[in-house]
């Protein structure tokens, strides 16, 4: 039995789910239409950063890789996402806290998990869906987002917590947010 990695291929959405009368597009719409949900927003954040970097989107993303994206320059990038507004009913806006916990990296090519937790990326991009009105929230509107970029070295030197970072701490470390159009140059700057 061959249990080696099976590369994913891009689908069109027209593929049929046998015996159901449904297509893959039907599944995608059912599964991924709530762009404010934590899991979907996280993947959307990766897509936004990938598009800003000009990453080849003709190859599907690798689930559970040691880092989220690799730039055309070979920079390993971890993407983190947070939002004030959630899909569920809220009594108040969510507090913005990003996980920065080191993890035991899993190698998708070998299936081997690292012995020690670490931060495997070179750079972290923190994507904040900053919009604060549920009625007009639109995660597809890039103007409703702001981005912060830190090198892994900066995170490793962060002494307040090794597992999470609040927005005020992130803003102090990053000094300023960057626009979508500035993401690529900000990431390059952090790896000099």
Range name among 23-37, 50-64, 107-121, 174-188 with the lowest pLDDT average: 107-121
pLDDT beyond 70 at 4? no
Q: Angle, to 10 degrees, between the axis of helix 38-53 and the axis of helix 183-190? A: 80
Torsion of CA 38, 44, 50, 54, to 10 degrees: -160
Kindly report the length of the chain.
Answer: 192
Listed residue (1, 80, 64, 50) closest to 183, CA to CA: 50
Listed residue (147, 30, 131, 143) closest to 81, CA to CA: 147
Q: Model's pTM, two decimal places?
A: 0.92
For position 106, what pLDDT does the model report?
A: 83
For position 9, what pLDDT does the model report?
A: 87
For position 192, what pLDDT does the model report?
A: 87
Produce one character per residue of 2-26: b if its CB has 16 or more CB atoms within 10 Å, e if not. Answer: eeeeeeeeeeeeeeeeeeeeebeee
For position 24, what pLDDT does the model report?
A: 94
pLDDT beyond 80 at 6? no
Question: Helix, strand or coil for residue 172?
Answer: helix
Listed residue (38, 58, 28, 11) closest to 139, CA to CA: 38
Put residue 68 in one of left, alpha, beta given phi > 0 → left and psi -120 to 50 → alpha: alpha
Fold assignment, 36-190: Trna Endonuclease; Chain: A, domain 1 (3.40.1350)
Q: What is the pLDDT of residues 114-162, one digit of tens each?
A: 889 889 999 999 999 999 999 999 999 999 999 999 999 999 998 888 8
Question: Residue for token digits 């750079």?
Answer: 123
Q: What is the pLDDT of residues 57-109, one digit of tens each?
A: 998 888 878 899 999 999 999 999 999 999 999 999 999 999 999 898 888 77
């Amino acid at each position: 039995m061959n249990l080696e990695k099976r590369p994913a291929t891009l689908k069109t959405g027209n593929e049929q789910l046998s015996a159901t009368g449904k297509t893959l597009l039907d599944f995608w719409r059912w599964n991924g239409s709530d762009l404010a949900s934590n899991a979907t927003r996280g993947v959307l954040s990766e897509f936004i950063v990938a598009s800003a970097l000009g990453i080849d989107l003709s190859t599907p993303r690798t689930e559970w890789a040691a880092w989220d994206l690799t730039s055309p320059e070979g920079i390993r990038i971890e993407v983190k996402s947070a939002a004030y507004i959630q899909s569920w009913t809220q009594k108040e806006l969510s507090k913005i806290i990003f996980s920065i916990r080191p993890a035991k990296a899993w190698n998708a090519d070998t299936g081997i998990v690292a012995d020690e937790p670490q931060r495997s990326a070179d750079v972290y991009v923190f994507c904040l869906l900053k919009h604060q009105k549920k009625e007009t929230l639109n995660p597809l509107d890039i103007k409703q987002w702001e981005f912060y970029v830190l090198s892994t070295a900066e995170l490793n030197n962060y002494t307040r917590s090794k597992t999470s970072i609040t927005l005020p701490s992130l803003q102090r470390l990053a000094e300023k947010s960057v626009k979508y159009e500035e993401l690529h140059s900000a990431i390059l700057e952090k790896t000099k």
